Amino acid sequence: MNSDIQLMLKVKSGDLDKLGILFERHKNAIYSYFYRNTFDKNACDDLSQNVFYRILIYRSRFDGYGKFSTWMYRIAHNVLVDHYQKNKPLDIAEGLSESEHTDKNEADSSLLEDEQQQLLVKAIRQLPVDQREALIMSRYQGLKYKEIAEIQNCNEGNIKVRIFRALTALKEIYLELET
C-alpha cells in the first residue's frame, strides 16, 4: 500500500488517478473538519471538494517533506478562511438535526445528550475562530501542536496558548449557557 506522500508525489508527476485514492482516504476527515468549524452540512461537501481541487491545482508545490496531512490541512485552513470571508457565520440552530427516538428511556437519555451536545456546539461557535480551529484540529482531527502551528503559520507555543485559552473559554461559556 502506498503512503500518502508516495501517492501525492505520483499525482505531482502526472498520475492524477492517485488523487482519487487520497480523496477516499481523507474525505471523511476533511468533511468532519469543515463541519466542526462551520456546522453547515450544505457547505461541507463543497468545501471538501474545493480542498481536493486545490490539491490538484497546487500539486507542483508539494515537496514531499513532512506529512501529507499537514499540507492538506493547510489547504483546508485556507479554504475555510476564504469561506469565512465570503459568508457570514451560520446561526447555531442551522446545521443541528433532531434525533429520532423509539424507546422512552432511550429518548430521555438521548434528549439529555442532545441538549448537552447542542450546548457544546453553541459554546464552540462562540470561541474566536483561531482558537476554535486549533481546538478542533487538536481534539477532533488528532493533529499535533507542531502540525497545527505549521498549518496556521505560527509557532507551537502560540498553538498551546490558543488551545489552553479555547478550553478555558469553552468551559466558561458552556457553564454560562447551562444556567
| Residues 51-75 pLDDT 10s | 999 999 999 999 988 899 999 999 9
CA gap 133, 151 in Å, rounded: 11
CATH number of 102-179: 1.10.10.10
CATH number of 1-90: 1.10.1740.10
Q: What average pLDDT does the structure give for the chain?
A: 85
**pLDDT in the model for residue 1:** 67
The pTM of this model reads: 0.72
Cα–Cα distance list, 5 to 72, 77, 144, 165 (Å): 11, 19, 18, 34
| CA gyration radius, the chain | 18
- For the chain, the structural domain boundaries read 1-90, 102-179
User: Average pLDDT in the 119-143 region?
Assistant: 90
CA gap 130, 124 in Å, rounded: 12
Is the distance from CB of 163 to CB of 153 less than 8 angstroms?
A: no
Residue type, 8: M
CA gap 20, 17 in Å, rounded: 6
